[in-house]
Structures are given as structure tokens and as C-alpha cells.
Structure 1
Amino acid sequence: MKFNQLRDFVAVAENGSLRAAARVLGLAQPAITRSIQELEHSLGAQLFVREARGVKLTPIGQEFLVRAMLILGEIRRAREAVNQRQGEVDGELVVGFSSAAHLGILAKILRSFQTRYPNVRLRIIEGFLPTLEAELRNGQVDLYVGPVTERVQPADLQITKLFDNTRVVACRRGHPLINARSVHDLADAAWLTTSITRNAEDELKQVFAEHGLGAPHLVCQCQSAFSVLTVIINTDLLAMMPVQWIESPTVSGFVEQIKLEKAFAAPPIMMVHRPGIGLTPAAEYFSHLVQRVAKSDEIMTDSNHLSVRQF
């Protein structure tokens, strides 16, 4: 089994055909075909089946893909670690950030990281741990920074707590309910939701139930920070969001907080990566910056109003 065979196999799997993989890799299609055939011969198993518009992984191929991507990821890290320790500051760092981590941490570390590693390509993915967990395991994502609930803490990943967090009710500037002071005042409001849970409405339903209210009126669900911001500033919908949305200069000019008597606890912000042989020097420095900012006074939560109820 050779490196180029694994590379070619992953390229075919990701692109769905030998021709597309050859185009991406800049190789002739017969070379890709021969590479896959040699790999299948060495494994004694068929990895692909031909279809009308390309190829499809067999069940064995699907299982092998996970391991092949892991091997290629470790080879990439090994090469980059050696180069970076020898003073060659190139390579790639892939990090996943939630919206709270984007607003509360990322903006504060970018300049320092780029100054130290100007030639390391930083690829940033917006998401939550459940959507990035597989990529963390197979090496496609180096680090994740964002909320992690107690119910979702994989034992095979290294998890470092950065800080406890808080949710507040956010709305557009000049919202007619800006002077509300309790959840009861918001009982008839329309809401948008964004969540790391399978059922996005659960977090709001529980808050309403704890105050003796019926189910909230949910009219929109967003999966990206940009979608949330667009909906909030253009409608009267409310959202229960991490406090970083209110504190960040990036969005504070468009969004404000309805200052209820109590804020609400949110899942703590964590940093997650694979344990074992460790991170590349660039990833180590990035994680150091994340932890330094998280421990500084730059990360502020409304602890004086933090609700004792966890949800």
C-alpha cells in the first residue's frame, strides 16, 4: 500500500468518479485507474462499484475511507510539524468555531496567529461539535472551539474547558419589546432558533415551561450566524443567543439585548481535538492563543445575572 494509492482512492471517493479525481489531482485517468486497481489487489477487496455517472463506494470501501483519510491527515501533520519545527512556517490549519467562539475569541487571535505563521493557510468552519465530530476523529479538522453539552462529550477526544457561558434574549435595535423584563412579557413574541441540540426548540420550550408558560411561537430556524443576523435585524423575531452576540463590536450595532431579570445558562465553551501524538506547532500556538484569550478579561459573561438553572 502506497501513499499515492491512498491519495488517489480518497480523491475518487470525494469526487465520485475517476475522471473527476484525475482532473483534481492533475493526473491522467489511466494512472488513477491503475492506482485504484493496485490498491484493491493489495487489499484483496473491491472498494468501488461502477455506476452510470461514476463510481460508488462498497461497504468495505466506506469503512476503508475513514482509515485512509486518517492516515493521510497524519501524514500531512507529520510533514507540517517537521517543516514548522525547522523554521518553515507553511501548511494548513483547519478549525471549527461556533458563532459564540467566532465573536468572542477568533477576532482576538487572528492577528497574532498570522504574524507568527503568515504562510499557514487557516481554514475556518462554522459549526458545532455534533457536525464536526467525525472530521475531528479522521483528521480533517484540527481543532473545535465552541459549546459542548454534558450529554455530548466524546471519551475519545480531548476536551478542555475554556469558560462558562450565558445566553441572553437578542433582538433588532428599536424592537417594540426592548423594555420587557421577564419571560412572561415575551410569551406572545415570535422566535427564531439556532441550537446544538437535535431539536432546536427544546432549549426555549424548557425556559418557557420553567416559567409556567406554554410552548413558544417558533417561526424560523437558522443554521448559520449570518442567517441569524439577517433574520434578527430585518424582523421582530427574538432569539436566545450567547452573550457574545451582544458584546461583540461586529454585530452590536445591529442587535441589542432585552434585559430580563435573569439571563440563562449556556453550555460551556470548550476546545476539542484528537489526543495522541499531538498538534502541529501552528496548531499548538493557535490553541495557546485561544486559551490565553479565554482566560483573560476580554471574555466577559453577564455572571451577575446568570440563572442557576441549567438547560
Structure 2
Amino acid sequence: MQLAAVVKAGGVVEGAALLGLTQPAVSRTLAMLEKRVGEPLFVKGRRPLQPTPLGRELAHHGMVVMSASRKASETIDSFRLGRSGVVRVGGTPYFMDGLIAGMAADFQSIHADIRIEQSYGYISDLKAGLTSGQLDLAICPIDLLDEGSGLVAEEILPGRNVIACRVTHPLLVPRKLKPSALLDYPWIAPPPTSPLLADLHSLLLSLGVTEAKIRYSGGSLMSVVNYLKGSDALTILPHSTVFSMRNDRSITALPLQIPHPERALVLMRLKEASAIPAVENFAKHIARRFEELRHLIKRHEQAVVWGG
């Protein structure tokens, strides 16, 4: 590297300055190198310094080393500043598809060198992924985090469900929507392991029944949305997920208050996990975006007359 710097700069003093070294130190290194190879590295008596063929070839290898060293330093700096790296995030499907994927794309428009590896799971799978080191972050709704779990959870959105339907659904026509009218239409059931399934059962109990006309179940968010768009079916979804699709004008929420789940959407991680800058930057971005979403949803709720 020192030989390459001298050849590139045209002199020992200049080459030493390029590397942040002193001229005597570089001169000693070059003398030791010449002694080691047993051949001169520079043509004697030439000013500025002119490398011999062997000196030029060795300097070429030195330039490769210099370039690799510079790239290594840039990689370290980028990692420390959270501008590069990998973020492994898992979460419940509806939230990941409806909200997190878009937030991840927004994040990467700023941090293009950070790779995000997304996976799906519910609470037990996500806890296992965090404790085994397979996940850095989990985004999911929880009721209460067990003491001694070794995990910490940051609330990013309070629990709030709505009844979703297509924007031209007949139940959107009446001025006063009667809750009993919900039972006149078919329903889409959430996936069996989703906490939304328990919320659907709570809703039915509040209506005085234990069963609804289930016509479709277990689909992804996109399949549920497409089914809603093509039918008069109803389903229960997080308000934030429905709100995020407001610009598509395909599905909406019935203006009807339903029982609130005793849970919140959280950002979960290992309590004793080593801080990885890229992960910290992504977590801050998600928390910030949800804070913005919280205010937008609140304004929307204040503008809607919710029945009950």
C-alpha cells in the first residue's frame, strides 16, 4: 500500500501524506521491501520517482489493497451509522401486508443499502423467532407480555377493530344502522390462529348469537379484500388496515362501534439484544410512521358518526 501511494503521488513525501504517515516511516518501509525482494523498486537518479517494472507491478497490487481497505472502512462507517445492514422483521399477516410493507418501501427510499427480510407469524412464532435470534423485530397485536419472557414491547397503536365491507355495501345506505342487520349478510372469518377470530366471536356474542354465516375463511389480506369487493360479505379487520386502503376506494368500514379488543399493536424485541444501527433506524421509522397514522385515524374517527 505504501509503495502504491508513493507511485501514485510521485514522491515519498507526497505518498506519506496520502496515507497519513511520516516520510521517514515510508522510506524505511520501502527500503525494507527492496531488501526483501532483492530488486530495486525505483529507477535510481530519476526525479520525480519512476518505478521499475517490478515496482510498478507491486504498486498495482498495492492499489487493489488500498481500494479494498477503503471499501472496508466505508462499510464499517455505513454499518455504524445504520445506513447498511439487514433487518429481519416478522409480524402478523394483515398488518405486514396492509401497513408494514409500504412503510418498509418508504424507509428504503432513504436507506437503500439496508435489506429487509420480512416473515409472517403470530405471537408464539414471533416470540420464538426473537428468542432464537432469527428475528430482530416483531410487529404484532398482544394482550399482555409475560414477565420473564426476556422481551420488551413498545406500543405503536391501540387496539381498534371495525367491520369492513365494500364501498357500495347495502348497509352503508341506511341513516341508522341496526347491529342486528349484520346477521343478514355472509362473513369472512380471519385465519384460525389470528387474534381477530376471537374478536369476531366477541362481536357475535355482543349481538346475542354464537355463529354467523361464514362463507370464506383463512385467506391473505389481498384475497379478503378482493372477496369483499366482489360480494356483500362482511369481516372484522383492524381499523388501521382499512384506513390505509382509503385511497383505493375499494373497501371501507361500517360506521358502527363494536367491542374493542384489550390489546395493542406493539414493536417487540429482545430486552438484552445488542443494538444494531440499521435495526434501530428501522424501528424508529416504523414508530414514527405509526405516530403519524395514529393522528390521521383520530381525525377520521372524529369526523365519522359511529353508531352502537
What band does the TM-score fall into relative to the shorter chain? 0.5 to 0.7
Q: Shift of residue 288 of structure 1?
A: 0.8
Q: Shift of residue 283 of structure 1?
A: 0.4
From 220, 243, 246, give the equivalent of 1:247. 243
Point out where structure 1 has 5 or more consecutive residues left out of the alignment: 1-80
Q: Secondary structure at the match of 2:130?
A: helix
Give 2:55's aligned residue.
Answer: none
Q: Secondary structure at the match of 2:131?
A: helix
More helix by share: 2
Aligned positions of 1:151-230 closer than 5 A: 155-179=149-173, 181-194=177-190, 197=193, 201-230=197-226
From 102, 111, 119, give the equivalent of 1:107. 102
Matches of 2:241 and 2:170, distance apart in 1: 20
Give the aligned residue type for 2:206: E
User: 1:274–1:92: structure 2 CA closer, same or farther, 3 Å change rule?
Assistant: same
Give 1:272's aligned residue.
Answer: 268
CA RMSD of aligned residues (A): 3.3
Give 1:120's aligned residue.
Answer: 114
Contact 1:184 1:213 in 2 (8 A): no
Contact 1:96 1:126 in 2 (8 A): yes
User: 1:280–1:306: structure 2 CA closer, same or farther, 3 Å change rule?
Assistant: farther
Contact 1:171 1:236 in 2 (8 A): yes
Matches of 1:167 and 1:221, distance apart in 2: 18
More strand by share: 1
Calculate percent identity across the aligned residue pairs.
18
Matches of 1:263 and 1:168, distance apart in 2: 7
Q: Shift of residue 154 of structure 1?
A: 7.4
Q: Secondary structure at the match of 1:215?
A: coil
Give 2:124's aligned residue.
Answer: 130
Q: Shift of residue 230 of structure 1?
A: 2.3
Q: Please give the per-residue CA displacement for 1:170-201, whole angstroms capped at 9, x wherever unaligned.
A: 11232233336232111132111225756864
Alignment length (residue pairs): 226
Contact 1:170 1:246 in 2 (8 A): yes
Segments of 4+ moved more than 6 angstroms:
151-154
Contact 1:158 1:275 in 2 (8 A): yes
Q: Which has the larger radius of gyration?
A: 2
Matches of 1:251 and 1:210, distance apart in 2: 31
Contact 1:95 1:141 in 2 (8 A): yes
Matches of 2:238 and 2:200, distance apart in 1: 13
Q: Shift of residue 282 of structure 1?
A: 0.5
Point out where structure 2 has 5 or more consecutive residues left out of the alignment: 1-74
TM-score between the two structures when normalised by the length of structure 1 = 0.61
Q: Secondary structure at the match of 2:159?
A: strand
Q: Please give the per-residue CA displacement for 1:38-90, whole angstroms capped at 9, x wherever unaligned.
A: xxxxxxxxxxxxxxxxxxxxxxxxxxxxxxxxxxxxxxxxxxx9664456843
Matches of 1:209 and 1:165, distance apart in 2: 19
Q: Secondary structure at the match of 1:300?
A: helix
From 283, 288, 292, give the equivalent of 1:292. 288
Q: Shift of residue 213 of structure 1?
A: 2.9
TM-score between the two structures when normalised by the length of structure 2 = 0.62
Give the aligned residue type for 2:218: C
Give the aligned residue type for 2:244: S
